[in-house]
Amino acid sequence: MIVHLKNNVTTDEAAKLAVQLKAVHIKKPGQEVLVTPSKLQELDDSIMDKVDSFFPMTSDIQLASKDYRKDTREVTVGKVTIGGNTNNTLVIAGPCSVETEQQITESATFLSGMGIHALRAGCYKPRTSPYSFQGLGREGLELLAKMREKFGVSIVTEVRDATHIEDVIEFTDVIQIGAKSMYDHGILRRCGKANKPVLLKRGFGTTLQEFVQASEFILSGGNENVILCERGIRTFETKTRFTFDLCGVSFLKEHTNLPIILDPSHAMGYAYGVPDLARASVAMGVDGVLIEAHPTPRKAWSDANQQLTHPEFKELYGTLQKVAAAVGMKIV
Amino acid sequence: MIVHLKNNVTTDEAAKLAVQLKAVHIKKPGQEVLVTPSKLQELDDSIMDKVDSFFPMTSDIQLASKDYRKDTREVTVGKVTIGGNTNNTLVIAGPCSVETEQQITESATFLSGMGIHALRAGCYKPRTSPYSFQGLGREGLELLAKMREKFGVSIVTEVRDATHIEDVIEFTDVIQIGAKSMYDHGILRRCGKANKPVLLKRGFGTTLQEFVQASEFILSGGNENVILCERGIRTFETKTRFTFDLCGVSFLKEHTNLPIILDPSHAMGYAYGVPDLARASVAMGVDGVLIEAHPTPRKAWSDANQQLTHPEFKELYGTLQKVAAAVGMKIV
Amino acid sequence: MIVHLKNNVTTDEAAKLAVQLKAVHIKKPGQEVLVTPSKLQELDDSIMDKVDSFFPMTSDIQLASKDYRKDTREVTVGKVTIGGNTNNTLVIAGPCSVETEQQITESATFLSGMGIHALRAGCYKPRTSPYSFQGLGREGLELLAKMREKFGVSIVTEVRDATHIEDVIEFTDVIQIGAKSMYDHGILRRCGKANKPVLLKRGFGTTLQEFVQASEFILSGGNENVILCERGIRTFETKTRFTFDLCGVSFLKEHTNLPIILDPSHAMGYAYGVPDLARASVAMGVDGVLIEAHPTPRKAWSDANQQLTHPEFKELYGTLQKVAAAVGMKIV
Amino acid sequence: MIVHLKNNVTTDEAAKLAVQLKAVHIKKPGQEVLVTPSKLQELDDSIMDKVDSFFPMTSDIQLASKDYRKDTREVTVGKVTIGGNTNNTLVIAGPCSVETEQQITESATFLSGMGIHALRAGCYKPRTSPYSFQGLGREGLELLAKMREKFGVSIVTEVRDATHIEDVIEFTDVIQIGAKSMYDHGILRRCGKANKPVLLKRGFGTTLQEFVQASEFILSGGNENVILCERGIRTFETKTRFTFDLCGVSFLKEHTNLPIILDPSHAMGYAYGVPDLARASVAMGVDGVLIEAHPTPRKAWSDANQQLTHPEFKELYGTLQKVAAAVGMKIV
């Protein structure tokens, strides 16, 4: 249950109530909020004088639920806003990894030239083998910051584990939590205290229920700027890298109040399928798409198969605008 | 390997070669075709004087492969053709089951009134429980035939098992093979000898490789009119009925020469998600979509949750035309 | 709900009640039984004078449920009985396919020499490609019958689709319904009228609920001799052919009244893992195991990788007896 | 490729070679080891005078591979050793979480009284909801240390994320990495530098390849004491909590050199199935089992459904010894 306390309830009083109700306490002076386990369906009369309003919930999808807020939350990424009444579909693009200054500059030049606002590239790669390229780390973050300064793009980059989260928060505009880190309490709780938007990717073995519950760790920490990202789940089908769960996206649109961004590149794993899947993503009427593009995909240091060339990306981008218009959205 | 024999090779000679090569023999007087196991990569010199051309293959996706035919095959359903250079996206619609003459007439009236060419409804329901409604059987087929006569629509209906396949072939325009029957050799082989289009649905536990190989049973029987249908696979996610595999659709578009129709209704299992998923389906640039609509879904005898009302269908239909146009296709 | 009618209720009266209750009617003169959809939880007073006893059910697992019968049903295969209070674990062994008279004779000689009672081998192979060996068909059935006559073994062989089910019923002792045919109403309904035991394999994409419901088609047809067989489900893991669902077996043991036989050979797909998995199967305390063994696996016409050699089988067989003893069971 | 350098190669020289070969460098004075990406299949002649021996590999399963070491590595947990030639099967038991001093004392008293050497209980619970019990944290670790002192048991407890790994390493005997943390580079790399055994659980959405590759992060850090733990994967089947992948265990036994411990409690999720599955686990001939038992499961603060009562555990324990004996192993 989500409990909004009255204006005159102090943070200290709220903290005591939180202990009493075994609730998570979101400190917002003037509007303290408690979130109890969802099992709690009724409040005791004795505390009702401190309660402004309350929302009984059917599961631990609480702050993210449409039963709590009917509208989609607005989240601002640099100069653009998604969610709410904006009808904006944000295109985030860039290479899988920051490799060299030349490579990332080439990407940023091309993408900002096309009007793309958000540049994505990884510096801490969650590779499954210790014997592959692991990312440039802090050096990569500094290169991304340079690109922001030079080209005015917002930066979206991934935190891999809790040991370098402060670095990522320092340099990025949007903190990306990757599929393999989605259950990481160290990351989730720290993001709850950050004042930057968080792009939370669904784990490939993660149910929708668990996925949204992971966002609750951030929301209940006080950070309301969470974007959900579907990027494919693992199934028995191996001809493609993952299985893009657009039924799940329909569920998220119907039941949660968070903006949704789709990542067809990681879902498919092969560049040939990305344009069709990106168009299908935009046709879903979601708040954004994330597309990997690389100056020379063949030579990429990671995920070489799935990144579009710049000409391919350019051609796709034009058609995305048409599809967005067909469903009443606007590419930003 | 697919082997096209020379014009002057007789059916009898071809049959002998088939035995020699352990091949399936497709009898086409004037152009006999053999299909050997894909392991065979070279032909012996001794038979080359009978061979017109040959296509070594990398897997038992052979007749359906883009390595054999680069273009998508054309299939004609009643008055409309899909595949080839048509850029047509066929909308097939109707209720899950034929229930009563009144119900199916109401459906046919509404859908034909909207310009829909193909009416779908089941008469032999592959229910998982013997204690549920099993379909009207032949009585249902007769009602569908009545609708065709009255409204000029083509009929798409499902064969559940080999015991009633002759009835289905007699009455239907398109033979639908359902997800649970997709491995049924009795059905597949009989369809290979039928001269009607076959809509082959992917089993929900079926890999893309096996799915396309099932089509090979029909194609190698001599029936070239096969349409593939993705309708959702079974994964760990249970908030939706199945997981719609659009990455798989990208694979099929890239690697096979068969038209593809998508079924968002069965994938999602809930009406609320069908419009978004139907638009995403059309944005994939495929050859058709199959959408369940029922005069009064709440009272449907099967799959009540996933069928659209007629007003919902009407609203969706308008937007499908816009999305189709955005990707260079035309709704028929 | 399962309804046992009183002794004096005639088959005709029962049939009328069946229509009234939308129930399946199992004709057993002297003890007519009706099975209604499980939604029905109460009976109308007006018919209680015809009712001997009734069992409300929570799902359409009805006749197979422990809520209906607490004990495991007994099923007799040739000279041996499993289930009930027998504590018997039946070993069914043999090659994947009948290939030649020499091969199957070699198998039967070896296995009967070791005291194996039940010989398995397929004649109608549910191959996923039309370009592979499809089985010897009726010729194979005749060879199996010869083995029964010569060596006194019971025969277990598979029906692939409804077109040849009469042949299989004529020749076999146990009708095996394969994983790919498990939803085939044509087969299931015919088996409900057969008076031979049915070994029903779980489809690899089939939930436990659907699997047991498939057995209800047979049980509600009047054939009580159904054995459930777990043989691996399809998951994201591809290093092994399938994933052996022993948690599911625990569920079946707890909730159903049918004997259970496990098939580690198809689950694993590689001979190296079969001995450990066969021992684990027996340690589960189930009613049988099904193990593939071939005189010369390397040369097998199907499933070459997963079949044990005869020496490997012999060594395994000795350890199975020890494991069975450790869990209070006896290998037969 | 794994490269063993000659005795006379110094750490500095090895470090230079590591850079040259893009290899991970395991510093072992007197026997420096390099591990290159597995793509490298040949060494240049110019460095062969520094090479003692080398092992080309077919995948990034390298240090853990049977192609590198044929025998299973020995790992010592307190007073007992598993792996190698020991034929020991270690039973690790205890409650899901440390809840109170009374509760964990009751557990430790019972289990040490039965001769159990290793006590498991969690202090940092990787819950999927922020509104559930999250574990006692460091206070729990201190209680576990008290149990070790009082009862002489070894402690097995879980690290949830990198923020508290130093605490876990300080207090535990075996560092357990949970299924949800299995990709956490922060944890894996730190464990590579720890001198305590690591029990690495397979993620429920993790392939066998990725699972073993996670162990490579630890092994290549220099810690050779890694134990693999299968605890169930996520599949379409939801009647049980997870699907226990014993086929995968066969793969691990065949292809890796690491000891293996199985966790039937988490796989099943329901106490009723744990005894059969624990016996099946032991019948697999593995190096250990991990079983949850709680003084009063009904009242447990987490995973209440799957924990055995103490009498249930006692009964099971006796039968595990029999099954172990039947497969040539010994319970320790």
Cα distance from C205 to chain A (closest Cα, Å)?
A: 10
Q: Which residues of D touch B (CB under 8 A)?
A: 234-236, 238
Cα distance from B267 to chain D (closest Cα, Å)?
A: 15
Give CA–CA dist B169/B176, Å, rounded: 10
Cα distance from A244 to chain B (closest Cα, Å)?
A: 6
Give CA–CA dist B62/B71, Å, rounded: 14
The tokens describing A150, both together, are 């030079």
Whether C238 and A238 lie within 8 Å, measured CB to CB: yes
Share of chain A above pLDDT 90, in %: 97
Q: How many A-D residue pairs are in contact by the CB < 8 A criterion?
A: 109
Average pLDDT over residues A89-113: 97
Tell me the per-residue pLDDT of D81-118, one tens digit each, with 9 for 90 and over: 999 999 999 999 999 999 999 999 999 999 999 999 99
Average pLDDT over residues B214-232: 98
Residue A303: per-residue pLDDT: 87
Confidence of residue C48 (pLDDT cuts 50, 70, 90): very high
Average pLDDT over residues C67-83: 97
Cα distance from D57 to chain A (closest Cα, Å)?
A: 12
End-to-end, the C-alpha distance of chain B in Å comes to 36
Q: Residue B210: its chain C contacts at CB < 8 A? A: 128
Q: What are phi and psi of B228, to 5 degrees?
A: -90, 145
Whether A235 and C236 lie within 8 Å, measured CB to CB: yes
Give CA–CA dist D41/A6, Å, rounded: 69
Confidence of residue D229 (pLDDT cuts 50, 70, 90): very high
Distances (CA, A) of D311 to A158, D151, D274, D300: 49, 20, 14, 16
Q: How many A-B residue pairs are in contact by the CB < 8 A criterion?
A: 151
Whether C239 and D283 lie within 8 Å, measured CB to CB: no
Tell me the per-residue pLDDT of A52-67, one tens digit each, with 9 for 90 and over: 999 999 999 999 999 9
Q: Which among C244, C273, C327 has CB closest to D323?
A: C327
What is the average pLDDT value for chain C, to the nearest integer? 96
Q: Give, in degrees to the nearest 5, the angle at Cα C297 between C294 and C303.
A: 95
Give CA–CA dist B161/D262, Å, rounded: 42
The tokens describing B167, both together, are 């009835």
What is the average pLDDT value for chain B, to the nearest integer? 96
Whether B285 and A279 lie within 8 Å, measured CB to CB: yes
Confidence of residue D201 (pLDDT cuts 50, 70, 90): very high
Whether A243 and B238 lie within 8 Å, measured CB to CB: no
Task: Tell me: pLDDT of A29 over 80.
Answer: no
Cα distance from A166 to chain B (closest Cα, Å)?
A: 34
Residue D9: per-residue pLDDT: 94
Instruction: Determine the length of chain C.
Output: 332
Instruction: Return the CATH architecture of domain C75-331.
Output: Alpha-Beta Barrel (3.20)
Q: Which residue has the tokens 């054309």?
A: B74
Whether D250 and C277 lie within 8 Å, measured CB to CB: yes
CA nearest A249: which of B262, B319, B244, B260? Answer: B244
Whether B186 and C162 lie within 8 Å, measured CB to CB: yes
Describe the crossing of helices B208-219 and B246-255 by its angle, rounded to 10 degrees. Answer: 50
Residue of A233, A236, A241, A245 to mutate, testing the C interface (most C Cβ within 10 Å of its Cβ):
A236
**Quick one: A148 exposed, middle or buried, by C-beta within 10 A (0-12, 13-18, 19+)?**
middle
Give CA–CA dist A130/D220, Å, rounded: 8
Q: Which residues of C touch B (CB under 8 A)?
A: 23-24, 35-38, 60, 62, 124, 126, 128-132, 134, 160-163, 180-181, 183-187, 203-207, 209-210, 213-214, 216-217, 220, 233-234
Residue B304: per-residue pLDDT: 87
Q: Residue A270: its chain B contacts at CB < 8 A? A: 250
B186: which residues sit within 8 A by CB, 6+ positions away?
A: B161, B162, B165, C160, C161, C162, C163, C186
D126: which residues sit within 8 A by CB, 6+ positions away?
A: A183, A185, D158, D160, D178, D179, D180, D181
Give CA–CA dist D271/D304, Å, rounded: 9
Q: Which helix or strand (DSSP H or E) is residue B165 part of? A: helix B165-171
Q: Which among D235, D254, D284 has CB closest to C280?
A: D284
Q: Residue D236: its chain C contacts at CB < 8 A? A: 205, 207, 233
Residue B125: per-residue pLDDT: 92
- DSSP letter at B198 equals E
Task: Tell me: pLDDT of B29 over 80.
Answer: no
In DSSP notation, A279-316 reads HHHHHTT-SEEEEEB-SSGGG-SS-GGGPBPHHHHHHH
Share of chain B above pLDDT 90, in %: 97
Residue C63: per-residue pLDDT: 98
CA nearest D234: which of C201, C236, B190? Answer: C236
Contacts 24+ apart (CB under 8 A), C171-174: C171/C141, C171/C142, C171/C144, C171/C145, C172/C141, C172/C144, C172/C196, C173/C77, C173/C78, C173/C118, C173/C148, C173/C197, C174/C77, C174/C118, C174/C198, C174/C199, C174/C227
Tell me the per-residue pLDDT of D149-158, one tens digit each, with 9 for 90 and over: 999 999 999 9
Residue D284: per-residue pLDDT: 98
ipTM of the prediction: 0.96
Share of chain D above pLDDT 90, in %: 97
Cα distance from D269 to chain B (closest Cα, Å)?
A: 16
Task: Tell me: pLDDT of B310 over 90.
Answer: yes
Share of chain B above pLDDT 70, in %: 100
Average pLDDT over residues A113-138: 95
Contact C71, C38 (CB under 8 A): no
Cα distance from D234 to chain C (closest Cα, Å)?
A: 8
Cα distance from C61 to chain D (closest Cα, Å)?
A: 13
Residue D303: per-residue pLDDT: 87
Whether C130 and B204 lie within 8 Å, measured CB to CB: no
Whether B283 and A285 lie within 8 Å, measured CB to CB: no
Distances (CA, A) of B66 to B71, B207, B251, B252, D285: 7, 18, 11, 10, 48
Give CA–CA dist B101/B89, Å, rounded: 29
Tell me the per-residue pLDDT of A167-196, one tens digit each, with 9 for 90 and over: 999 999 999 999 999 999 999 999 999 999
The tokens describing A266, both together, are 């990681």
Sign of the CA dihedral C213, C217, C219, C223? negative
The residue type found at D145 is A
Contact B219, B64 (CB under 8 A): yes
Tell me the per-residue pLDDT of B145-179, one tens digit each, with 9 for 90 and over: 999 999 999 999 999 999 999 999 999 999 999 99
Q: Is C267 helix (H, G, I), strand (E, B) or coil?
A: helix
Give CA–CA dist B8/D13, Å, rounded: 74
Phi and psi based region of residue D284 (left: phi greater than 0; alpha: psi -120 to 50; beta: remaining): alpha
Residue of D nearest to C316 (CA): D327
Whether B131 and C62 lie within 8 Å, measured CB to CB: yes
Residue of D nearest to C205 (CA): D236
Whether C35 and B160 lie within 8 Å, measured CB to CB: no
Contact B141, B168 (CB under 8 A): yes
What is the average pLDDT value for chain A, to the nearest integer? 96
Q: Residue D246: its chain C contacts at CB < 8 A? A: 244, 246, 276-277, 280
Confidence of residue C30 (pLDDT cuts 50, 70, 90): confident
Confidence of residue A304 (pLDDT cuts 50, 70, 90): confident
Residue of C nearest to D323 (CA): C326
The tokens describing A296, both together, are 């020379």
Exposure string for B216-240, b = 16+ CB within 10 A, e = fewer: bbbbbbebbbbbbbbbbbbbbbbbb
Q: How many A-C residue pairs are in contact by the CB < 8 A criterion?
A: 6
Q: Give, in degrees to the nearest 5, the angle at Cα D92 between D90 and D98.
A: 165
Residue B230: per-residue pLDDT: 98
Q: How many B-C residue pairs are in contact by the CB < 8 A criterion?
A: 111
Q: Which residue has the tokens 């046709």?
A: A283
Residue of B nearest to D238 (CA): B236
Q: Which helix or strand (DSSP H or E) is residue B254 part of? A: helix B246-255
Confidence of residue D28 (pLDDT cuts 50, 70, 90): confident
Contact B66, B260 (CB under 8 A): no
Confidence of residue D124 (pLDDT cuts 50, 70, 90): very high
Task: Tell me: pLDDT of B303 over 90.
Answer: no
Q: Which among D243, D254, D268 has CB closest to C273?
A: D254
Sign of the CA dihedral B136, B138, B141, B143? negative
Give CA–CA dist C280/D283, Å, rounded: 5
Q: Residue C235: its chain D contacts at CB < 8 A? A: 233, 235, 243, 245
Q: Which residues of B touch C (CB under 8 A)?
A: 23-24, 35-38, 60, 62, 124, 126, 128-132, 134, 160-163, 180-181, 183-187, 203-207, 209-210, 213-214, 216-217, 220, 233-234
Residue A242: per-residue pLDDT: 98
Q: Residue C185: its chain B contacts at CB < 8 A? A: 124, 126, 134, 160-161, 163
Confidence of residue D29 (pLDDT cuts 50, 70, 90): confident
B138: which residues sit within 8 A by CB, 6+ positions away?
A: B123, B164, B167
The tokens describing D192, both together, are 């590579």
Q: Residue D235: its chain B contacts at CB < 8 A? A: 236
Whether B233 and A233 lie within 8 Å, measured CB to CB: no
The tokens describing D236, both together, are 């379409």
C133: which residues sit within 8 A by CB, 6+ positions away?
A: C97, C125, C127, C301, C302
The residue type found at A306 is Q
In DSSP notation, A115-146 reads T--EEE-BSS---S-TTS----THHHHHHHHH
Task: Tell me: pLDDT of C15 over 80.
Answer: yes
Average pLDDT over residues D208-231: 98
Number of helices and strands in chain A (H, E): 10, 15
Whether C37 and B132 lie within 8 Å, measured CB to CB: yes
Whether D244 and C247 lie within 8 Å, measured CB to CB: yes
CA nearest D62: which of D219, D242, D184? Answer: D219
The tokens describing C295, both together, are 């005189």
